[in-house]
């Protein structure tokens, strides 16, 4: 007798889906294996992964200063050795010392306070203040293993809404009419999968809507460093709320940040934080209790989260090289975003919004009726059908829009801007060629 | 209008409790603050934390070789520099190179395969094989952030059972009669909170019981290195099952290991793995899907998990210093366990089982009726009442047994053996003194 079968497993497990690592990615891995075991079996020789926001897997290099500090905190006994000064920048050595002094017993191998090491939360709060121009309280900071584990599962989430307030109101009324009381609005800004950067006025309307309807505003702000157009700037939702005169008692805002995105791209380090504001002490206590059940987030990730919020400053030994690395990454991402956006807009039946920020483009594709029927016959969705064909013909991996909740009857795919710059021409030419032949094949 | 209040929060959040960081620990933190702001206000000058298995917070030092490798993997660009040979052991440099070679693109900052980096899983499987003498498959290994996140929440867990098979059968029948079908048995060996090491024969009975009743055996084996008595040895449940001739098709066993315990004690690194055996491909696919939703565990923790399962070997440059560090920690833990066990057994009304393994003692205390009434009047449980009194009078922090599900009408507390050896005499003398006056105060 098998203890667990598909009949006895928790049905929620079966229902769970994760678009970014779904069918297309499994297929891509199979094709990659095939390329290895049978070179030449396909009209391409490598997989071009445009499916996941994982910059360093595609060749982006980590920021040197951050890695220096992490290494020194991992092995503090070299801090006082003379050879160390030849290997590490002086401000990295100094920063590692400061961080170690903030850790009780300098024990980087101990569970920390459940919210994260206090001194690191101080640095993060100071970084938020410098960014926003409004106070931030270290006791509001909860350090987390990246941003994914931070979205509290105990709140009813309402996601997938457009950001026009008229649309929000419609969705709200619709939920209410079904007997559902939404408790929170999740906004990702800059946006995933859309790459949009919200205008400040739009953010103000959203804040007012949440305040009026008593919704917690869950602000996924992990792409705060990823803005590529001069006419847009990142504004945290907390800053927007404070600038409107709303304080702790007026609105509940949770801001999420991660070390995985930005120019740092340290996905594997699993570091991040949430800044929790506008909850009473009773609820704060419950959030703390849940954090303590999870023990604490990993200490290297905690250290890195403090570093991204307090990078080297003008005058520090590392400042110049740090700035050059940062600017190099961000300006390259900007060029890649523009190149891909232009390429998409040149494709028949495809429209792609401006790549304002984040790491994604989310082009809309109008598929011929014949392709939609073919997808149906293949028992899949039209966007998945397209992405499957693209992968098989070119090795390019997109994520079908179905995984992100697109408007009924429209089809999209999400494409990251993360392949290194020397790979972008191949993405563009192979995509363009495939698209032409796909449209020819299914033309009415 | 507050979006979230105690009336609208998910009731499961309110119900959730975590003994190890519960009321007593909150009280301890308050007392610690008080000692800082008003020195001399208490009859003791420091808090003696015996509540949590967090060795490095109490002064245990990390294993040098492990930290060398972690530092080099964090900052690989120093690997080829001449100063590095003066700072790091040659086998640590070699090991870091090997590990980096196993990571696609040497990208320690990228999300890895959802189960963890393949080369690290290879090392772990080899370590399990060397430990058990039976094959282990790298594809069965799922790397995790410590062992806490690994217990799958999608299985009905049946915990808190005694380990006599007669007791297991009774609990099983009891559950069945209530319409509950247990799906899994969780066994912690060596035990937490009890410090027990199971005899191999007892393990065989448990394996047979699980096989017969179709239960998944969830084996928490994070204390596998923590055995302090010569007459007991650690045997993994998978090894026991295989030695009985049971293979993949006969029984489902999940073994959990963590970098937080053992002689390494690297709680803050959040590393660990589960070895998942005896499930069909359909269920394996579901487990993989859940792992992929969580992206991946942190890479430093993954590396450390591979290191604890493949430490330096005889002949390696670090072997001697590594062995000295390991033996120093384990023999000290053994002495501390024995000293505390003896001290407990000398207290009136207290009996304490032999400290065979893990990091805990779980003495049983027979409290006078008058103390139980006083606890009732103070609206708390008798064990909590005792622990509160102990903390206030001595600064010693124990966890009341109520948090671990003790047999009705019995009272316990859990005490770790982790304070450094020079603190143990203070623990013993303060505890003994408090206990005497407590028993006098509440004597009938």
DSSP string covering A144-170, please? ESSSGGGS-TTS-EE-S--SSHHHHHH
Distance (Å) from the alpha carbon of B84 to chain A's nearest alpha carbon: 7
Q: Specify the DSSP class assigned to residue A369.
A: H
- Contact call for B13 and A111, based on CB within 8 A: no
Q: What end-to-end distance do the CA atoms of chain A give, in Å?
A: 54
CB B377 within 8 A of CB B366: no
Nearest by CB to A268, which of B2, B145, B298? B298
Secondary structure of chain B in the HEC alphabet? Answer: CCCCCCCCCCHHHHHCCCHHHCHHHHHHHHHHHHHHHCCCCCCCCCCEECCCCCHHHHCCCCCHHHHHHHHHHHCHHHCCCHHHHHHCCHHHHHHHHHHHHHCHHHCCCCCCCCCCCHHHHHHHHHHHHHHHCCCCCHHHEEEECCCHHHCCCCCCEECCCCCCHHHHHHHHHHHHHCCCCCCEEEEECCCCCCCCCCCHHHHHHHHHHHHHHCCEEEEECCCCCCECCCCCCCCCHHHHHHHCCCCCCCCCEEEEEECCCCCCCCHHHCCEEEEEECCCHHHHHHHHHHHHHCCCCCHHHHHHHHHHCCCCCCCCCCHHHHHHHHHHHHHHHHHHHHHHHHHHHCCCCEECCCCCECCEECCEECCCHHHHHHHHHCCCCHHHHHHHHHHHHHCEECEEHHHHCCCCCCCEEEEECCCCHHHHHHHHHHHHHHHHHHHHHCCC
Confirm or reject contact between B7 and chain A (CB < 8 A).
no
CB A402 within 8 A of CB A383: yes
C-alpha distances in Å from residue A339, one per residue of A342, A386, A424: 5, 21, 8
pLDDT tens digits along B106-162 = 888 988 888 999 999 999 999 999 999 999 999 999 988 766 554 632 222 333 334
User: Measured between alpha carbons, how far is B372 from B381 in angstroms, rounded to an integer?
Assistant: 8
Q: Which residues of A touch B265 (CB under 8 A)?
A: 109
Structure tokens at B58: 């109490």
Reading chain B (444 residues) residue by residue, the pLDDT tens digits are: 566 777 777 777 677 666 556 788 889 989 999 999 999 999 999 999 998 888 888 889 999 999 999 999 999 999 999 999 999 999 999 999 999 999 988 888 988 888 999 999 999 999 999 999 999 999 999 988 766 554 632 222 333 334 777 878 888 888 888 887 788 888 889 988 888 889 898 899 999 999 998 889 999 999 999 999 999 999 999 999 999 999 999 999 999 999 999 999 999 999 999 999 999 888 888 888 878 777 788 999 999 999 999 999 999 999 999 999 999 999 999 999 999 999 999 999 999 888 888 999 989 899 999 999 999 999 999 999 999 999 999 999 998 988 776 777 889 999 999 999 999 999 999 999 999 999 999 998
Q: Say what the pLDDT of residue B156 is.
A: 29
User: Measured between alpha carbons, how far is B186 from B219 in angstroms, rounded to an integer?
Assistant: 6
Candidates A255, A261, A198; CA nearest to A226 is: A261
Distance (Å) from the alpha carbon of B100 to chain A's nearest alpha carbon: 13
- Contact call for A13 and B289, based on CB within 8 A: yes
Q: Say what the pLDDT of residue A275 is.
A: 94
Backbone CA torsion sign across A159, A164, A167, A169: positive
Tell which of A295, A403, A419 to mutate to test the B interface (max B CBs under 10 Å): A295
Contacts of B413 (CB under 8 A, 6+ apart): B362, B363, B365, B383, B386, B387, B398, B399, B400, B401
Class for the domain spanning B11-59+324-441:
alpha beta
Q: Where in chain B is the domain with CATH 3.90.1150.10?
A: 11-59+324-441
Q: Say what the pLDDT of residue B349 is.
A: 93
Q: Which residues of B touch A110 (CB under 8 A)?
A: 54-57, 267-268
Q: Say what the pLDDT of residue B7 is.
A: 76
Contacts of A78 (CB under 8 A, 6+ apart): A72, A84, B71, B87, B88
Q: Where in chain A is the domain with CATH 3.90.1150.10?
A: 11-59+334-441
Structure tokens at B356: 């065979």
Long-range contacts of A171-175 (CB under 8 A, 24+ apart): A172/A213
pLDDT tens digits along A48-97 = 999 888 888 888 999 999 999 999 999 999 999 999 999 999 999 999 99
Q: Say what the pLDDT of residue A241 is.
A: 97
DSSP state string for A232-259: -----HHHHHHHTT--TTT--EEEEEES
Alpha helices (H) in A228-368, listed in sequence order? 237-243, 281-293, 299-308, 319-345
Which of helix, strand or coil describes residue A317?
Answer: coil
Q: Which CATH architecture has domain A111-308?
A: 3-Layer(aba) Sandwich (3.40)
Candidates A324, A317, A358, A328; CA nearest to A341 is: A358
Which residues 196-255 of chain A have a CB within 8 Å of chain B? 214-216, 252
Confirm or reject contact between B83 and chain A (CB < 8 A).
yes
Residue B58: closest C-alpha in chain A: A105
Backbone CA torsion sign across B335, B337, B338, B343: positive
- Contact call for A75 and B70, based on CB within 8 A: yes
pTM, full prediction:
0.89
Confirm or reject contact between B81 and chain A (CB < 8 A).
yes
Nearest by CB to B268, which of A111, A146, A283? A111
Q: Specify the DSSP class assigned to residue A102.
A: H
Reading chain A (444 residues) residue by residue, the pLDDT tens digits are: 566 777 777 777 677 666 556 788 889 989 999 999 999 999 999 999 998 888 888 889 999 999 999 999 999 999 999 999 999 999 999 999 999 999 988 888 988 888 999 999 999 999 999 999 999 999 999 988 766 554 632 223 333 334 777 778 888 888 888 887 788 888 889 988 788 889 899 899 999 999 998 889 999 999 999 999 999 999 999 999 999 999 999 999 999 999 999 999 999 999 999 999 999 888 888 888 878 777 788 999 999 999 999 999 999 999 999 999 999 999 999 999 999 999 999 999 999 888 888 999 989 899 999 999 999 999 999 999 999 999 999 999 998 988 776 777 889 999 999 999 999 999 999 999 999 999 999 998
Which residues 297-356 of chain A have a CB within 8 Å of chain B? 297-301
Distance (Å) from the alpha carbon of B67 to chain A's nearest alpha carbon: 5
Distance (Å) from the alpha carbon of B267 to chain A's nearest alpha carbon: 5
Strands A184-188 and A157-158: parallel
Q: Specify the DSSP class assigned to residue A186.
A: E
User: Measured between alpha carbons, how far is B183 from A219 in angstroms, rounded to an integer?
Assistant: 39
ipTM: 0.87
- Contact call for B270 and A105, based on CB within 8 A: no
Q: Say what the pLDDT of residue B98 is.
A: 96
CB B5 within 8 A of CB B388: no
Q: What end-to-end distance do the CA atoms of chain B give, in Å?
A: 54
Distance (Å) from the alpha carbon of B18 to chain A's nearest alpha carbon: 6
Phi, psi angle pair for B217, to nearest 5°: -95, 110
Burial label for A11, CB within 10 Å (0-12, 13-18, 19+), is: exposed
Q: Specify the DSSP class assigned to residue A227.
A: B
Which of helix, strand or coil describes residue A358?
Answer: coil
Q: Taking CB atoms and an 8 Å cut-off, how many pairs form between chains A and B?
A: 239
Q: Where in chain B is the domain with CATH 3.40.640.10?
A: 111-308
**What is the percentage of chain A residues whose pLDDT exceeds 70?**
94
User: Measured between alpha carbons, how far is B255 from B150 in angstroms, rounded to an integer?
Assistant: 10
Consecutive H or E run containing A123: helix A118-132
User: Measured between alpha carbons, how far is A26 from A32 in angstroms, rounded to an integer?
Assistant: 10
Candidates B273, B349, B310, B287; CA nearest to B116 is: B273
CB B288 within 8 A of CB B67: no
Q: Which residue has the tokens 């000398």?
A: B346
Distance (Å) from the alpha carbon of A175 to chain B's nearest alpha carbon: 16
C-alpha distances in Å from residue A293, one per residue of A15, A96, A201, B260, B298: 26, 29, 39, 16, 19
CB B44 within 8 A of CB B394: yes
Residue A57: left if φ>0, alpha if ψ -120 to 50, beta else—which one? alpha
Bridge partners, residue A68, by sequence: none
Nearest by CB to B154, which of A9, A298, A301? A9
Which of helix, strand or coil describes residue A41?
Answer: coil
Candidates A143, A148, A152, A153; CA nearest to A297 is: A143
Q: Specify the DSSP class assigned to residue A377.
A: H
Nearest by CB to A283, which of B9, B52, B74? B9
- Contact call for A3 and B145, based on CB within 8 A: no
Confirm or reject contact between B15 and chain A (CB < 8 A).
no
Q: How many residues does chain B have?
A: 444
Q: Which CATH architecture has domain A11-59+334-441?
A: Alpha-Beta Complex (3.90)
Residue A74: closest C-alpha in chain B: B71
């Amino acid at each position: 007798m098998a203890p667990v079968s598909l009949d006895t497993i928790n049905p929620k497990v079966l229902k769970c889906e994760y678009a970014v690592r779904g069918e297309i990615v499994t297929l891509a891995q199979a094709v990659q294996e095939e390329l290895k075991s049978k070179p030449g079996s396909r009209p391409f020789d490598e997989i071009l992964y445009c499916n996941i926001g994982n910059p360093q897997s595609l060749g982006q290099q980590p920021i040197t200063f951050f890695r220096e500090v992490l290494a020194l905190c991992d092995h503090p006994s070299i801090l006082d050795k003379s050879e160390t000064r030849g290997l590490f920048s002086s401000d990295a050595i100094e920063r590692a010392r400061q961080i170690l002094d903030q850790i009780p017993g300098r024990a980087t191998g101990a569970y920390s306070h459940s919210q994260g090491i206090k001194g690191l939360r101080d640095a993060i709060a100071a970084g938020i203040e410098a960014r926003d121009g409004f106070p931030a309280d270290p006791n509001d900071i909860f350090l987390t293993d990246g941003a994914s584990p931070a979205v509290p599962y105990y709140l009813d989430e309402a996601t997938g809404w457009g950001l026009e307030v008229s649309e929000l109101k419609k969705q709200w009324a619709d939920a209410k009419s079904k007997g559902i009381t939404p408790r929170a609005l999740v906004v990702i800004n800059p946006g995933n999968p859309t790459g949009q950067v919200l205008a400040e006025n739009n953010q103000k309307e959203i804040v007012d809507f949440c305040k009026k309807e008593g919704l917690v505003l869950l602000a996924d702000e992990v792409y705060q460093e990823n803005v590529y157009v001069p006419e847009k700037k990142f504004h945290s939702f907390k800053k927007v709320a404070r600038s409107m005169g709303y304080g702790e008692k007026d609105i509940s805002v949770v801001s999420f940040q991660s070390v995985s995105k930005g120019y740092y791209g340290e996905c594997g380090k699993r570091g991040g934080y949430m800044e929790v504001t506008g909850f009473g002490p009773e609820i704060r206590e419950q959030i703390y209790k849940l954090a303590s059940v999870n023990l604490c987030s990993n200490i290297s990730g905690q250290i890195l989260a403090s570093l991204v919020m307090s990078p080297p400053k003008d005058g520090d030994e590392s400042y110049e090289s740090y700035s050059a690395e940062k600017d190099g990454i961000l300006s390259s991402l900007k060029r890649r975003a523009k190149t891909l956006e232009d390429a998409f807009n040149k494709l028949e039946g495809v429209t792609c919004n401006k790549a304002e920020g984040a790491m994604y483009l989310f082009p809309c594709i109008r598929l011929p009726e014949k392709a939609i029927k073919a997808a149906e016959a293949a028992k899949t969705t039209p966007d998945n059908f397209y992405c499957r064909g693209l992968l098989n013909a070119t090795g390019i991996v997109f994520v079908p829009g179905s995984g992100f909740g697109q408007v009924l009857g429209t089809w999209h795919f999400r494409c990251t801007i993360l392949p290194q710059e020397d790979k972008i021409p191949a993405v563009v030419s192979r995509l363009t060629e495939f698209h032409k032949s796909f449209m020819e094949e299914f033309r009415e």
